[in-house]
């Protein structure tokens, strides 16, 4: 099985390194600056589960490659359009595309671009970042990858991809309802990102304020109501897990979206919060806290665009 990972940043670099450790045939499709970094230094991962540093197979857009069996898309939502152009030469009706993007709106975009490809769903739970000097730093103990076919396709490729992680520390899981899993993460992520970005603080700091817990749980309730209206309610165990993580006193957890803001980078606000706001409007659900968080991120993007046209 040839796995083509688009992007060797935080998420793609981490999971790709673990697949290589387990003996998988992995190629990274990257842009020229990252390619130069990887050629010079190799792929570097620093993690409490074991460090990784070695030369890896890389290619830049347009290069000739052995046909991939699976294309894993590991990019931010705002980079999806460029990625889809880059993978077009390597995508045919037999190709499986596994996007590891946050949210759910990207699935329709990919399906419209490659109507004959098989598009899975994927959920990555991992705290990881890419440093300016190209090191993938694992920030906590989370590194799970849940994936699966969306329409009951042949399960053999799923089992083969799952087997590729055997021997690695990654908690790889095959889902029987990946769309519900994607919605579950969307509810949690929108709450985490909306709260930590709006307050410019981690969960523990927000909880130490007078009304912080009320705000977080109120935002969680709004996002959950949207999911229920869309036919994807979170189950009781999921809701309990969300509440525990989002009300963990002393937690230093933030969303990667906050790290993007602090670095002056574009965010996935439109893809995550904007998508939920649109669904709330369509379902006539009042979401004052979500609206506030989304408006804040829109204002950030407007100011960023003025500074960096």
- SS3 state of residue 138: strand
Helices (H), 200-252: 203-207, 212-229, 236-246
- Helix %, strand %, coil % of the chain (to 5): 50, 20, 30
For residue 210, give the DSSP letter. Answer: S
Q: Shortest CA distance to 96 belongs to which of 162, 153, 23, 173? A: 153
Q: Shortest CA distance to 100 belongs to which of 134, 77, 129? A: 77
CA distance 220 to 184: 11
Report the half-sphere exposure of 146 (CA within 13 A, side-chain side).
Answer: 17
Catalytic residue (choose from 76, 108, 137, 185): 185
Place of tokens 């130069």: 36
185 is annotated as an active-site residue: yes
Q: What would the two tokens of residue 235 be?
A: 């189950």
For residue 15, give the DSSP letter. Answer: H
**Residue 66 and residue 2 in contact, taking contact as beta carbons nearer than 8 Å:** yes
CA distance 72 to 221: 32
CA 191 to chain centre: 15
CA distance 251 to 77: 27
Question: Which residues are identified as catalytic?
Answer: 185
């Amino acid at each position: 099985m040839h796995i083509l990972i688009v992007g060797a940043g935080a998420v793609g670099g981490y999971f790709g390194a673990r697949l290589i450790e387990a003996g998988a045939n992995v190629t990274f499709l990257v842009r020229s600056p990252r390619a130069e970094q990887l050629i010079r230094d190799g792929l570097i991962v620093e993690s409490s589960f074991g460090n990784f540093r070695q030369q890896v197979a890389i290619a830049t857009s347009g290069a000739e490659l052995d046909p991939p069996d699976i294309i894993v898309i590991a990019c931010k939502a705002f980079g999806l359009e460029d990625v889809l152009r880059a993978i077009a030469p390597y995508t045919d009706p037999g190709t499986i595309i596994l996007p590891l993007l946050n949210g759910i709106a990207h699935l329709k975009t990919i399906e419209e671009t490659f109507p004959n490809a098989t598009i899975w769903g994927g959920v990555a739970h991992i705290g990881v970042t890419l440093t300016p000097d190209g090191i993938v730093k694992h920030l906590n103990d989370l590194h799970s990858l849940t994936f699966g076919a969306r329409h009951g396709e042949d399960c053999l490729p799923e089992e083969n991809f799952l087997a590729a992680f055997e021997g690695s520390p990654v908690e790889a899981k095959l889902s029987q309802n990946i769309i519900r899993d994607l919605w579950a993460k969307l509810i949690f992520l929108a709450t985490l990102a909306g709260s930590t970005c709006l307050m410019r603080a981690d969960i523990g700091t927000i909880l130490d304020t007078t009304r912080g817990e009320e705000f977080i749980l109120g935002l969680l309730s709004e996002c959950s109501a949207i999911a229920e209206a869309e036919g994807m309610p979170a189950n009781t165990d999921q809701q309990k897990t969300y509440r525990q993580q989002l009300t963990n006193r002393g937690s230093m957890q933030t969303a990667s979206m906050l790290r993007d803001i602090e670095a002056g980078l574009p965010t996935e606000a439109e893809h995550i919060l904007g998508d939920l706001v649109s669904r709330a409007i369509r379902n006539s659900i009042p979401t004052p806290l979500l609206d506030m968080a989304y408006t804040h991120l829109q204002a950030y993007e407007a100011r960023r665009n003025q500074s960096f046209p």
